[in-house]
Structure 1
Amino acid sequence: MKTSRIFWPLRLLTAGACVIVTAGCSSLPMEEYAQFSPAPSSKRIMNQVKISWEVRDDVADFCAKAKGMGKEQAFLTPPVACAIWHVPLKECTVVTGSSTSHVALGHEVRHCFEGHFH
């Protein structure tokens, strides 16, 4: 037991390094990895939704256009994924590149339920 207490900081540091190494190629800010509280059901744009997942090679360009980003903003902070929702049909399409992360996918799924939350 004493050994495991001594080495827990090392284990935490190693786990953190693995996350940084695997996410190093994405442009997701660190706050994306923080815990959050889901919006209450009454505050969501949809509670039941049909979700589709579209994988595109041009994800940055496609999502920039879908979000209405200007060329300069899209160049400086290219989106790694996006969600396009249609409330009346209760449908949402998550768009990612061929290489993505669980964090990016989960972030976009949250948009499907909560709409614009940031």
Structure 2
Amino acid sequence: MQGAIATIRVKNLRLRTYIGIKQEEIENKQDVVVNVIINYPADNATESDNMDDALNYRTITKKIIALIESNRFSLLEKLTADVLAIATEHPWVESASVEIDKPHALRFADSVSMSLSYTKPK
């Protein structure tokens, strides 16, 4: 199918990391929930049914997990930007967006989230 755009969605990837600036956040890991959307041209993959013609979402997700679980972050902005960098590192990626939730960051809210997106320059 010519012109097909594939959308990969990694939904609600639940991880733990050090995130924040308060002493208790620096000393204790917290939950984060990661959502990633990646768009890329799918013509080759839809025609060949060959993994070499598709983006490997397992490889991308493993890189995200390694990044988050092995680092410390003061700001949700930095964490989100670093995940977006992984999501967009393959040259086929046309656009991507990342949203990361920090559950229970505010007393009366379910979570606080940060979103960043990227579109390849034309």
Q: Which structure: greater strand fraction?
A: 2
TM-score range with shorter-chain normalisation? under 0.3
Larger radius of gyration: 1
Normalising by structure 1, we get a TM-score of: 0.25
